[in-house]
Structure 1
Amino acid sequence: MNALPISQARDADLRFSQKALERAAARASQMAAQTGTALIVFRNGRVETIQPAGGHVSIHTPRTVKEPESNYGDKS
């Protein structure tokens, strides 16, 4: 295992992956607030359901969801 931080990785995709995950989480939170949908997060070893307003709803067993494949086009 490499001891260097991800921000120093040689692979650009890996270097910028943390920021991409942060943007995705922010967008998911925004969409949840707009649609009134709860967020499902893994925190402190537990799966939690969180309402968009920030209140905790429940702790539960996760369900498996299969999303359709997306066409991301050319990555260059």
Structure 2
Amino acid sequence: MNPQDISKARNPDLRASVQAMRRAAELARRTALQTETAIVIVQDGKPVRVTADMLRKQARTAPAQ
């Protein structure tokens, strides 16, 4: 299932899961910055370690929301 399919799911919990995962990812990034630790993400099917310094650089270059 892709995010578009999930947004049309009958189950309201499933429909809300994409946004919940986005919130969890943001919280993980904030926690990593506060604790000077790294997070691990999957990029192109491979695990990638992202340090707190890398997260700071990404935040500076990210477009404002």
Same fold judged by TM-score > 0.5?
Answer: yes
CA displacement at 1:20 relative to structure 2: 0.3
Larger relative contact order (Cα-Cα within 8 Å, sequence gap ≥ 6): 2
RMSD of aligned alpha carbons: 1.8
1:37 aligns to what? Answer: 37
Which residues of structure 2 form unaligned runs of 5+?
56-65
CA distance in 2, matches of 1:19, 1:53: 26
- Say which SS state the counterpart of residue 54 (structure 2) adopts: coil
**Consecutive unaligned residues in structure 1, runs of 5 or more:** 56-76
Q: Percent identity?
A: 38
| TM-score, L = length of structure 1 | 0.63
The letter for the 1-side match of 2:9 is A
Q: Point out the structure with max Rg over C-alpha.
A: 1
- Higher relative helix content: 2
Q: Where does structure 1 differ by over 3 angstroms across 4 or more consecutive aligned residues? A: none
